[in-house]
Amino acid sequence: MTTTGTTAPTRHDRRMFAVMNDGRASALYATATRRRTAVAGHAVLTAAGLVAGIGAYATDHRWPAFVLLALLLPWCVATGVINGATRGLLELRTRVLDERQVAERDRVRARAHRLTTLLLASAFGVVAVGHWTGRADAGTLLAPVLATVFVAHCLMPLWVAGLGVRDEPEQEEELF
């Protein structure tokens, strides 16, 4: 753990660094396929949670809220797997990261920002076309579309970082 800033890491920083770099669960994200699966699963769980949350908001039924609660635990596990794969790149404070990690985090955030901008433009286009063609009322679509874009904006850096993680270098065996 190296510091890039002038402030020394706190006890909380050291603990979070240890948690994010704990290798006991590394089998869950050891290969690119497993990391992609974790990101895809996280995205699917997020989409299902959004549908359930919007369903609970839009209807008088309670069951979508229970579906949302049931999805919460696997969603948290998938989030932990991605955070473990990225070694806490987005969760750790800057003072705990080295210069390479800070630069990587900046690249991830920039790429996620561009993707979220495209998503926002697409969402605007869908709502506008739906309203102009008379197929949907823009007011009806506003809350679900805004909720979806907001969640994507918050999670896109995590997904981009999870998909961009490189495999760990293989350990060389000693010849002795």
Residue 87 CB neighbour total at 10 angstroms: 18
Name residue 154's amino acid.
Answer: C
| Token pair recorded at residue 64 | 């979508």
| Token pair recorded at residue 85 | 């794969």
Structural domain span for residue 35: 28-89+98-164
Find the mean pLDDT for residues 160-175.
Answer: 76
Position 170 in a domain: no
Name residue 103's amino acid.
Answer: A
Position 9 in a domain: no
Position 169 in a domain: no
Position 175 in a domain: no
Position 7 in a domain: no
pLDDT, position 28? 87
Q: How confident is the model at residue 174 (pLDDT cuts 50, 70, 90)?
A: low
Residue 136 CB neighbour total at 10 angstroms: 14
3-state secondary structure of 155: helix
Position 59 in a domain: yes
pLDDT, position 34? 94
Position 176 in a domain: no
- What's the structural domain count of the chain? 1
Find the mean pLDDT for residues 134-158.
Answer: 89
Name residue 75's amino acid.
Answer: W
Measure Cα distances from 148 to 50, 60, 66, 83, 153 in Å.
7, 20, 19, 22, 9
